[in-house]
Amino acid sequence: MLIPAPRLLLGTALLTLLGVLASVLPSLALLWWAALAALTLLALLDAWRLWQRPAPVVKRSLPHALALGVQRPVDLAIENESEQPLQLALFDHVPPSMAVHGLPQRLHLPPGQGARVQYRVRPLVRGNLQFGQVELRLRSNWGLWDRRAWAGEPASVRVYPNFAALSRFALLTVDHRLSQVGVLKRRRRGEGLDFHQLREYR
């Protein structure tokens, strides 16, 4: 899918303004027709070249499992297999029940080279969550068009409860209950760096 880029929209606006002036000043009519033909030819050629260019290859690296509420990195490897430099923006379609940091990202890839990007996710619910494909916006050589493309494969990841947080909470609960019944936890000799009592030296 091709989408007009801001540069093409600006050219169209200037052409419209020139058309308004040409309607008032007939001497500008020839200039308007020439500008219209030039912009149309450039836009068609730029669109054709962008459409013929292969989309980059994207591979996603996910952890085997995620913990609820814990932020983890996700890696994307992008390879430009074309013979032309590539300017693009990418957005990974993560599950709606995840908080995302670091998307979208913009890249410039030289011909035949790649790059790695990283963003972070934080699951908000448990269960089996589905990642969609990676959405790309490829910019044409002359900057007149953006092409929307999809890359990568859908993937799933399992989100489990945060057992580390549950363990800490359980230990705090045990300490609290022991203190309520009068059981005090005494430190062994050599533990800690603070003095809990000072005895009078004799």
The predicted structure's pLDDT at residue 187: 56
Residue pair 142/46 in contact by the 8 Å Cβ criterion:
yes
For position 162, what pLDDT does the model report?
A: 87
Residue type, 109: L
- Look up residue 70 and give its two tokens: 């814990």
Count CB neighbours of 23 within 10 A. Answer: 11
Q: Sign of the CA dihedral 168, 174, 180, 183?
A: negative
pLDDT of residue 176: 47
pLDDT at 196: 46
Q: What is the pLDDT of residue 170?
A: 45
Instruction: Please count the other Cβ atoms lying within 10 Å of the Cβ belonging to residue 124.
Output: 14
pLDDT digits (tens, 9 = 90+) for 94-123: 999 999 999 999 999 999 999 999 999 999
d(CA 58, CA 55): 9
The answer to pTM > 0.85 is: no
For residue 149 the two structure tokens come to 């493309």
Tell me, what's the pLDDT at 167? 56
Q: What is the pLDDT of residue 90?
A: 96
Peptide linkage before 104 cis (omega within 30 of 0): yes
Displacement of CA 202 from its chain's centroid (Å) = 68
The series of mean pLDDT values per 10 residues for the chain, 202 residues long, is 95 95 92 96 97 94 92 96 93 96 95 95 95 96 96 94 63 50 55 48 44
How far apart CA 27 and CA 175 sit, in angstroms, is 91
Please, how many CA atoms are within 13 Å of residue 116, restricted to the half-sphere of its CB?
6
